Amino acid sequence: MPESNYRYAGLHRTKEPGLSVAEAVERLRRLAYVERRLVRLLASRIVTVAERDLKALLARLQYEDALHADLLRRRVLEMRTNRSKLESAPDAGWEALFDEAEHLPGSYPFLAVVTLVLKPELRNAFESYLVTTNHLADYGSVRAMQHILTDEAEHDRLLHAALDDLTPSKEGRDTAGVWEQKLRGYLAAAGGLDGTGRRGTPPAGEGSSGPYRIPHTLTRDESLSRVWDYVVPPLEAVPEHLDYMMGLRLSEINVAEGLAIVLFETEGMPWEFYLDISRHLWDEMRHSLFGEAAIEQTYGHRTAIPMRDYEAIYALEAPPLEQYAVLGLEVEGKNMRYPPGKRQEWEFARDMAGHPLMTTLQDFDWADEVLHVNIARRQLDEWFEGGLKAISEFSRHGKDHRSEVKGRQAPTAIVHPAEPQS
Ligand SMILES: [Fe+2]
Ligand SMILES: [Fe+2]
């Protein structure tokens, strides 16, 4: 009689000895480390690549990679393993590989190496795990990886689309080729991303010097027009106030970039800090996309309303702890007050502007912001010496710094765009 195809609850490789717990833990912690380093690498580029659409994609990918790292870490902790095993690099080879990758120059070489080298290697490592382990014994890892691989297939599709969209110079292509080869050398030396291959000798003498630092310069393409700051129209000037709100959302990319700096430059924090900041970062980029979608839907093109710059300049100037305290306690914290606050924005979109899409977006924006205030309070309580009790003067001082940056140039009144002809 043929075996029924739902026996063993539909799981595979049930009679293969597969991996031991020790072997599984070793591979999983390597993969968790790789995902964690990808979060850092992708986040850093949100600041340095010019292309807006690419910045937005990287914000999503870095968060989904953070979720992958978290799944893998949780799985490792289920398998007789102490948390301390997860805190350090599993091997100097991986550390060298990602330290070097952080120096990848430009949009094209960076995207080419991530799309054509790092991500495919990562998918191979997951697939090789799945054809090795016993799915019944190691069910938790298998389930996590199957979910991760679904995301990774989507990442692959999106990254290829983004790469195809760039038009590199010959020099950009050549640089990408050199970097692909260089990082393949590091990969070979580490025995592949899961460490199961034969180890080679580390590439000698070609590493970039010193740790990578994100250049603190505003980097933008020409996809949107920009102003320093907006003149705030009164609530009663409904069409103008709606434009202003859409512009505010659009400009939240500044906050996402600031959080990318917080994530990258704050070292030695517990994993949960990075997971929280990664999520916060992606949420703020989503809010910027809220603005983009609302503007495009209302006026037919996303350039109808300019974004404002001053918040980005503040985020590039202020130390990470200061900008995070200002964001979480002063800006987002104050948004919880009603009126005005987030609730009023939502009511304005619904009742005064009668804009169904902005109503939905503001509704979810409000929900996100409540979450962010809670995240910020939790993280700052641990991060700031003396905790939340001691932080108020520090964050007020940061807010003054932000106001000083804001005041450096006069605000511009948004010109109400013409509605598209239907
Ligand atoms: Fe936001
Ligand atoms: Fe927020």
Q: Cα(369) to centroid of ligand 1, in Å?
A: 6
Q: How many angstroms separate the alpha carbon of residue 89 from the centre of ligand 1?
A: 33
Parts of the chain with a pLDDT under 50: none
Q: Would you say 226 and 306 are in contact if contact means Cβ atoms under 8 Å apart?
A: yes
Closest by CA to 132, choosing from 250, 12, 232, 47, is 12
Ligand nearest to the CA of 370: 2
Ligand 1 centroid to 299 CA: how many Å? 22
Contact between 28 and 72 under an 8 Å Cβ cutoff? The reply is yes
Ligand number with the minimum distance to the CA of 276 = 2
* Separation of CA 323 and ligand 1 centre (Å): 14
> Tell me, what's the pLDDT at 197?
85
How much distance in Å is there from the Cα of 352 to the middle of ligand 1?
A: 22
**Whole-model pTM?**
0.97
* CA 398 – CA 380 distance, rounded (Å): 14
- Ligand 1 centroid from CA 271, angstroms: 23
Structure-token match 């169904």, residue found: 356
Distance, in Å, from the CA atom of 143 to the CA atom of 72, rounded to the nearest integer, reads 11
CA of 181 to the centre of ligand 1 (A): 40
Token code pair at residue 79: 């398998």
pLDDT for 346 equals 98
Structure confidence at residue 206 (pLDDT): 65
Domains and CATH numbers, the chain: 11-190 (1.20.1260.10), 226-406 (1.20.910)
Tell me how far the alpha carbon of residue 324 lies from the centroid of ligand 2, in angstroms.
11
* Secondary structure tally for the chain: helices H, strands E: 16, 2
Return the pLDDT at 5. Answer: 84
Q: Per the structure block, which two tokens stand in for 250?
A: 């659009």
- Residues 172, 391: Cα–Cα separation, whole Å: 46
Predicted local confidence at residue 2, as pLDDT: 54
